[in-house]
Structure 1
């Protein structure tokens, strides 16, 4: 099963200048619980936003740079297709960004774990618009803004119809 995991604003904004636009600790915990123990597929720019590889996950990094060197334990590939082929034996594989990778992976995805941040932001990276004739909302859990979360957000699970 190929699962996209993303946090996107009401206007589908993901980030700007290589940075997230919000700090939501409960979303980080949710991401960790979903992806721990699994393969995660990401673009090089997304990978480079991490201070180090995320623990307890196998990183597949997509880049056009054939000379790109990633830390030990990470696998560098030159296409989404190569990443999917390397991870095909896995029961669940998580695509974690960025915007270009989400757009490329959407046609292959079986499920989307989307954190919808209830605010609109100026951004340069966006999550692709979901075609509601293809995707069905399975569940959602609302989290209000509080002292640790400047914005309210909703964990949504979408499945392909």
Structure 2
């Protein structure tokens, strides 16, 4: 059994170690406003509702991307494929031209990352401040799915689910 490192000087270290045990799909969230494009790597995207079709995601409240959103704003979700870890790193690195180094196109007035496993065009429905993050809900307007394994982030590393043996059946 692995236990988080105990650091009396930083109780956050234990919490970060705990959170690192929760695997998350890696998604690039994108917006385009006034000819400008913004995108960020987000590991907290999840399904919320089928009726209406809603997604949720969370980002630090001081995020540049969040400052570009209002209720009704278009927003894109690019769930990355296992081989796209370089794109995930790029969109989590501040101070670089993220789109200049990435193959992408514009779809539904949003930046869409080429070869992403899932593409979703949505509109911001609402948000709420929780701790130091904003939880945003978005209504799905269009979605496309490609075959393949997703990129996941687990134990502070990018991984592919294809690396792991299937332990059950998803044909319920």
The TM-score normalised by the length of structure 1 is 0.29
Comparing both structures, which one devotes a greater share of its residues to strand?
2
Comparing both structures, which one devotes a greater share of its residues to helix?
1
Structure with the larger RCO, 1 or 2 (CA within 8 Å, 6+ apart): 1
